[in-house]
Homo-oligomer: A and B are copies of this chain.
């Protein structure tokens, strides 16, 4: 997987370095279908998931460290950067859907999107399904926040919640039922609205049920979007496992 060249890159005009730099922008990621993953942990996660790299540059071996730092999206100290093809899971369909997935609607913070990709990989059998207005899960911050789970459980994407063939449970801080009380059999998709605006009328209308995560009366109105997704997946996954 490593760069087969035995010559150390010493010029910032090197094509691979230029490609990594361009992949910091969404336009180039969308155009090429590629993305960059930074750090030895992520490159190991890619290998573990069988995701072949277009190339990997290791500082001090393949490239002068300062040149790799200069194209890093995450600040200095990157010891390795790999370029990979974006992979996308199919959204849950009628044919043997996963028991539990999560749908994000206009969740715009890449750290939140990456954190949910990680949580879904740990807590449920289905992918994170990204609706309109979500941050790119292949942006540097989202890939980093996923801690490699974009490789292990690639996200899915849809044009809207109506494309998902499963019972939708929309999280709503004002719902009457809690996530521990609501009764929905698998397949279930937990639906999360935008960080500030919450659920859209469309998402609300297409949901089979709404539920809240119980929070303290002296606390904030709600959890952060990623934390809410993780807690809901934990609760529902736990109960599904108990039923099985």
Contacts and interface: CB of A to CB of B under 8 A. Distances in A.
Contact of A227 (B124, B220, B230): B230
Interface string A211-229: 0011110111011101100
Contacts of A218: 152
Given A230-B230, A234-B234, A222 B122 contact: yes
Interface residues of A, number: 34
A115 B219 contact: no
Contacts of A152: 218-220
Given A111-B111, A115-B224, A227-B226, A123 B216 contact: yes
B220 A149 contact: yes
A119 B234 contact: no
Contacts of A147: 220, 224
Copy tally for this chain in the complex stands at 2
Nearest to A218: B152
A21 B152 CA distance: 41
A153 interface: yes
Contacts of A238: 180, 214
Interface string A226-244: 1100110011001001000
A148 interface: yes
Given A119-B224, A123-B215, A147-B220, 9 more contacts: A115-B227, A119-B223, A121-B219, A122-B222, A149-B219, A152-B219, A214-B241, A227-B230, A230-B231
30 contacts: A115-B224, A115-B226, A115-B227, A118-B220, A118-B223, A118-B224, A118-B227, A121-B220, A122-B215, A122-B219, A122-B220, A122-B222, A122-B223, A123-B216, A123-B219, A124-B216, A125-B216, A145-B224, A149-B219, A149-B220, A152-B219, A152-B220, A153-B219, A223-B230, A226-B227, A227-B230, A230-B230, A231-B234, A234-B234, A234-B235
